[in-house]
Structure 1
């Protein structure tokens, strides 16, 4: 497995800039050391010149003088080279952002053309309505329905079993592109003109986007896609003493593990000497992959979260925060895995709390417009398809400071049946440990934010939420 990190501002990345920034930092450190050594050489020369005890070593004065000058020249050269390398890394980062914008525009245009083609295809098929009606009638016959179900299961099984495809970073990027262009496909199919589509889409005002498509899916799916229910949130166990996480790896390890009947949210409270409190909130991922379960962290909440609706998991997290004493305007730090990352991003985007930092692991939260004032880091694996389901990152005034840290989990092909491990929290904890070791200066604000979670000892409380279904 690879230990190489790629740090970017989101979207497509062709150049790994962490090594460049690290090289720049090493050169800066070398320059400082060289100046310290030059100062030591100068002090030694002064001793041989002014101290009678050191007079016998006066023969070394010319060599010390030359060494001091060489060290200062080395320091100046290292500083200049450090600046050049840093500028190159920043130029690569800016180029990534411009490339992302161009690719996004091409994807939007291609999606619009596909939608228009599908619309014409449907219109052209209108004369075939009697035949389609007959087919629909035949589909009600049990033998035919069983045959279609078997065929669909076979196709789904083949897709899930094709680990080379599902864990291919190119496939993951393609899925992200299709998801990002979903709104353009929808507008093309609706017969919207291209200028109007560009004005309404992500490239323009953003009035029509992934949220619109997800909302449309909820409406079309009806109760089979999303049935809103009340959510009941309770404390799970007693409070326990805790200290602020000393690293991102430690914070990642505190995210609750997904599982039926397990707590989904943990809230840590840290009071300071003035009586003010700060909070760290950890949110688990999807527990149930059905749409009508008793778990609020289910697929229905995933779809509702993408549509920016009040999902059960979002409500459960807010309830847990309220029961832990978090009030509007309080300082919070948010961490979440998968659906929990999407929920954490929605909480940060609400603006209700003074969110200091947001770290997501494998979350479909790319298009959630979190304010630039929030230190935001998205950790994504190249073979993890879940973040791709959130589409490409937003491009508005907000969301530009979202830093994406990615890593390839598999050096080559994944072992059979293990392609899904790219989404496991255990792998993301390993990536978090690598981030802690990174020298990329773009991650320094995250280090500062982690250091500011709490001044000392605090308490942690776990929470468990369930849907309340009628009858």
Structure 2
């Protein structure tokens, strides 16, 4: 089983598994050799008179030399993995630029075909491109099915990478059709720019989703004593299942002499129904979150935080899975809180750029469709600020226990993400340790209180919300 790989930034599948695992094994060997050297040196002083110590001293010298060489080799492998990650980031930028150029050329051909083929020209060009893409997808699906014995194109890393590049290039295709594409557009991908992914998401929301306007009720459902987690993997353990009666949000409070700290855990999508009734963690919130418009699920998180008493100047760690990851980064972007870090599992958040002082860890699987829906990762220095743990799951994750909601998408299962995070922590990777150290004040095993929150949509006049039935602010 291959272990997780770690990237210095961006949604990059860095093939450093062997290097990271070898570095971990060398570090273990280093500790063992150091222990043997110490015990051997201690034995030298207890030799009976007349027995030569020269051989024992030589053995100690050799053991200590081997210890130093193992340490140097482990450090070298970790450095090589980090540099390889930078190269892979450049490769991804090249793929993104090539996809953008192809989309822009296709759009321009659609526009330029009108004088030659008339009004049917753009349709013919688009149809030809889609037909070629469909043939390639079909061929890849057949190949993958023969290789794995399973028909599961939704978990094929190659198809998912192609989908991410296509999604990130839609704006280039539109600009190409308008003859507005520039070299700068080819090398950068601004989701908030004109015809960017956020604008496309907003258009989809307007076309496909029912009008917003319902008020939200967010109320506590339970409270109990708790100790703060000590490891990153424990954060995944505490994420709520939004379909449970307890609710979609969990907030932990920890007090000490330095003040109050908070950890906010946010559940993923509860339903994909277009008309989901009173459930705010739904498809509408997914699309609005991608479009950077205020969604009901994000507003539910903010209501819970306000009612729980989270102060604007009190450090908050935000943790989310899937849609909850998207809500976490949007709250960090726009919520007005002092965010001490964001940890996300399988979220469509690659293009969301947070301030430099906010440490971000994203855990993603190559076979998971959901991160792909956020497009490719942010390019340049902004993308490199994001620490990414990636892993390709054996068999695409099929065959391992999953929740019913993720049976067809096992790579998106929270349990799988928890295992990947635990393996990354155990690997000894310096970047994971450094991130864990930055979150140290939140992961100290301190006593505190955990409260669960249930959010629902309510009709006007049906009763007060948890924060005084206040109306939501304007959409961004």
Same-fold call, TM cutoff 0.5: yes
Q: Greater CA radius of gyration, 1 or 2?
A: 1
SS of alignment partner, residue 330 of structure 1: coil
SS of alignment partner, residue 101 of structure 1: helix
Q: CA deviation at 1:386?
A: 0.7
CA distance in 1, matches of 2:206, 2:58: 82
The equivalent of 2:157 in structure 1 is: 169
Q: CA deviation at 1:38?
A: 4.4
Q: Which of residues 162, 183, 186 is equivalent to 1:195?
A: 183
Does the aligned pair in 2 maintain the 1:260–1:295 contact within 8 Å?
Answer: no
1:447 partnered with 2:436: yes
Does the aligned pair in 2 maintain the 1:229–1:467 contact within 8 Å?
Answer: no
The equivalent of 1:409 in structure 2 is: 393
The equivalent of 1:152 in structure 2 is: none
SS of alignment partner, residue 371 of structure 1: coil
CA distance in 1, matches of 2:49, 2:96: 69
CA distance in 2, matches of 1:374, 1:180: 25
Does the aligned pair in 2 maintain the 1:21–1:89 contact within 8 Å?
Answer: yes
How large is the RMSD of aligned CA atoms in angstroms? 3.4
- Return closer, same or farther for 1:180/1:37 CA change in 2, 3 Å cut-off: same
SS of alignment partner, residue 70 of structure 1: helix
- Return closer, same or farther for 1:467/1:382 CA change in 2, 3 Å cut-off: same
CA distance in 1, matches of 2:417, 2:55: 53
CA distance in 1, matches of 2:265, 2:67: 45
SS of alignment partner, residue 449 of structure 2: strand
After superposition, the C-alpha distances for 1:354-397 in whole angstroms (9 at most, x for unaligned) are 32221111110111102333332211222211110011111244
- Return closer, same or farther for 1:245/1:100 CA change in 2, 3 Å cut-off: same
Q: CA deviation at 1:445?
A: 2.9
The equivalent of 2:419 in structure 1 is: 430
After superposition, the C-alpha distances for 1:330-362 in whole angstroms (9 at most, x for unaligned) are 111111111100110112233732322211111
SS of alignment partner, residue 466 of structure 1: strand
SS of alignment partner, residue 384 of structure 2: coil
1:302 partnered with 2:292: no
Taking structure 2 as the reference length, the TM-score comes to: 0.79
The equivalent of 2:356 in structure 1 is: 372
1:73 partnered with 2:65: yes
1:246 partnered with 2:238: no
- Return closer, same or farther for 1:128/1:396 CA change in 2, 3 Å cut-off: closer
Q: CA deviation at 1:226?
A: 5.5
Q: CA deviation at 1:328?
A: 1.3
CA distance in 1, matches of 2:305, 2:38: 55
Q: Comparing 392-401 with 20-29, which one deviates more in the overlay?
A: 20-29
CA distance in 1, matches of 2:414, 2:292: 24
Runs of at least 5 residues in structure 2 that lack an aligned partner in the other structure: 122-140, 400-405, 462-476
Does the aligned pair in 1 maintain the 2:10–2:386 contact within 8 Å?
Answer: yes
The equivalent of 1:16 in structure 2 is: 16
CA distance in 2, matches of 1:122, 1:23: 59
Taking structure 1 as the reference length, the TM-score comes to: 0.80
Provide the aligned length of Structure 1 versus Structure 2. Answer: 429
CA distance in 2, matches of 1:96, 1:42: 46
Does the aligned pair in 2 maintain the 1:289–1:299 contact within 8 Å?
Answer: yes
